[in-house]
Amino acid sequence: MSYTNQCGFIYSLPFEEYKILPGLNQSKLRKLLSSPIKQKQGDQIQQAMNFGNAGHCLLLEPHKFAELYVCAPKGLQRRGKKGRKYWEEFCELNKGKNVLDSTEWERLQKILNVFQINPKIRRFWKHGETEVSMFWEDTELDLECKARMDWFDTDSMKIVDLKFTNNIARFSNQKLMDQHFSVQAAWYRRGVYNLTGSKCDFLFVFVEKYSPHIIGVIQASEQIIMHGEQAILNATKRYIKKT
């Protein structure tokens, strides 16, 4: 089914289909706002991104996790000539799947256990839907736009975004703005407002990657949203010039 030129909320849209559909998203905007140094650093943390992608899949779409990921045998590492050779052979045997080493796999299973019993998460996940795509025509920006929300509840008008971190304590309001998370919060709220005419709350759920896997919930303040809106206006000017 084609969703091209369709505005609104779309549920159960595969991510691969979402990616190829037209529309400006917050990832492109944040990239435009990042310095070349930060972009270079981003290239160096691919492993952390892979862990985050696996975590998103396990926590938000557990029914897909076994189809997309496989655990490498305990002790199998990518270090050294022999290690890389055996790793590549295992990957070849499991072609089409993402291979996680046993340490990462075990860590993710522990995170899942903590996530499922957390009272705030249980309240969020009781209603609403995960992996909700939305497409809208932004009249102010005069652009086709899109976003993909980790979780959205139309009744409570809440958006939840899941992120993995080494240390929750470092995420102050200033840090959220420095890393352009404010752009994501403002962009998603902007999309919902364009489609519904109503304002909604945006909450970050941070999960620590290491034991005891502390979970923290931070609601985006109006200061963060205002900072994000200004950054969006600056980034879209650069985007229009480039296109």
CA distance 171 to 177: 10
Query: What pLDDT score does 177 carry?
Result: 66
Query: What pLDDT score does 123 carry?
Result: 86
Taking the model in full, what pTM does it have?
Answer: 0.88
Query: What pLDDT score does 124 carry?
Result: 85
* Alpha-helical segments (H) within 61-170: 62-68, 80-93, 102-117, 119-126
> Are 9 and 142 contacting, i.e. CB atoms less than 8 angstroms apart?
no
Query: What pLDDT score does 140 carry?
Result: 92
**The CATH fold of domain 25-242:** Lambda Exonuclease; Chain A (3.90.320)
Q: Where are the domains of the chain?
A: 25-242
Query: What pLDDT score does 40 carry?
Result: 46
The residues of the chain scoring below 70 in pLDDT are: 1-5, 35-46, 172-175, 177-179
